[in-house]
Amino acid sequence: MPAYRRLDALYHASRTVRYGLAVGLALSVIALRAAFDSALAPGAYYYLYYPAIVIIAYALGLGPAIVALVLAGFVSYYAFSAPAFQIKSDVRANLRLALFLITSGAVAALMADVRRRLSALRSEVSETSALTRSQAELFREHAERVGDHLQLLSAVLQFKARDEPEPDYSRVLANAASRTLLISRMHRSFASDENAKVDFVAFAQRLADAALEAQGRPPLVISIEGQLHLLPEQATSLALMLLECINARAAQEPRGVMRIALSERAGEGALTVTQDARRPARQDMGMLGAIAEQMRGRLVIGANDERDVLRFSFPTELQPLPQWAPLAPLN
């Protein structure tokens, strides 16, 4: 535990603990003063008490400090000031006691006020830090969601650009896809480390569980195996493709087994979805085609041993933005 937290614990302890510690520390310093009595000059009755008063005022508060300085002052006045253990008639001895009580009281009040202000400042800093972290997390989540939506929008624009017969319109759509993907990557750079790879197998398992939960937990068994690590942008695109396959199957044929195999080799990743449905699930081919186009991958859908099979292979490295091809100026 840091030292300032231990001091905070003492400062907020019960009155019995704080005043008990103050009296104990004061008696300890009085004993130390008595041990050096023969070596100290007559006017040095109270020198050793000031450090203790400062510590007590800061660590325990003003009240315990007042108790400690009064105890130390009068014990020293009565026991160490000549004549010892008698009523003093010496004006200088009484003046020394008065000056000690006044100056040590002022020091105690000052240290207690410093401690109070530092505690208030620490509390304000903690609240500000918590608010800042909360706002930063909110901004990160917002940037991540915006980045994901813009990435999907870019894929759709790129897919539409490929199928657009009019060259100028196709170039406009391709340019929009390029800039939208660029903005998406900027948002993602705010949200997370864009170079840190995602364990997509573990992510896919959580995604499948969430998708089935959203569908009301149909009796569909989803098996996920393999190994695949992707950058956040690719993981988002592949997750959208996988989610489309799971949702289509759960909505159209909610029974049976759906096997998902993930792999990576020599710079190429692969997603294979095998279904035992009596009739193939109808995915949104426009969505799947747009994602495949954006990831520069190859999408094949067919049948194998009377099973519906979707295979998607793609480069695991981040792909460059779609080519920016400005239109010729209008004359």
**Average pLDDT, integer, range 202-225:** 89
Does the pLDDT at position 329 exceed 60? no
Most confident of 152-161, 203-212, 287-296, 304-313: 203-212
pLDDT in tens, 137-157: 887 787 777 877 787 788 878
Q: How far apart are CA 148 and CA 146, in angstroms?
A: 5
Q: How far apart are CA 164 and CA 142, in angstroms?
A: 33
Assigned token pair, 141: 């989540």
Does the pLDDT at position 319 exceed 80? no
Do residues 313 and 297 touch, judged by C-beta distance below 8 A?
A: yes
* Element (DSSP H or E) covering residue 280: none
Does the pLDDT at position 41 exceed 70? no
Does the pLDDT at position 205 exceed 80? yes
Q: How far apart are CA 241 and CA 300, in angstroms?
A: 13
Residue 156: how many other CB atoms lie within 10 Å: 19
Of 89-93, 204-208, 258-262, give the lowest mean pLDDT range.
Answer: 89-93
pLDDT at 325: 65
Q: How far apart are CA 125 and CA 128, in angstroms?
A: 5
pLDDT in tens, 223-279: 999 999 988 888 888 888 888 888 888 888 888 889 999 999 988 999 999 987 655
Rounded to the nearest 10 degrees, the angle between the axes of helix 3-11 and helix 49-60 is: 80
Q: Residue 264: helix, strand or coil by DSSP?
A: strand
pLDDT in tens, 98-140: 988 999 999 999 999 998 898 888 889 888 888 888 887 887 7
pTM higher than 0.85, yes or no? no
Mean pLDDT of the chain: 83
Share of the chain above pLDDT 90, in %: 23
pLDDT at 148: 77
For the chain, the structural domain boundaries read 3-129, 137-191, 198-315
pLDDT at 110: 94
**Average pLDDT, integer, range 161-184:** 81
Fold (CATH) for 198-315? Heat Shock Protein 90 (3.30.565)
Most confident of 6-20, 126-140, 196-210: 196-210
pLDDT in tens, 45-86: 688 889 999 999 988 989 999 999 999 988 888 887 777 777
Most confident of 106-115, 302-311, 318-327: 106-115
Do residues 61 and 18 touch, judged by C-beta distance below 8 A?
A: yes
Q: Residue 301: helix, strand or coil by DSSP?
A: strand
Of 4-8, 210-214, 264-268, 279-283, give the lowest mean pLDDT range.
Answer: 279-283
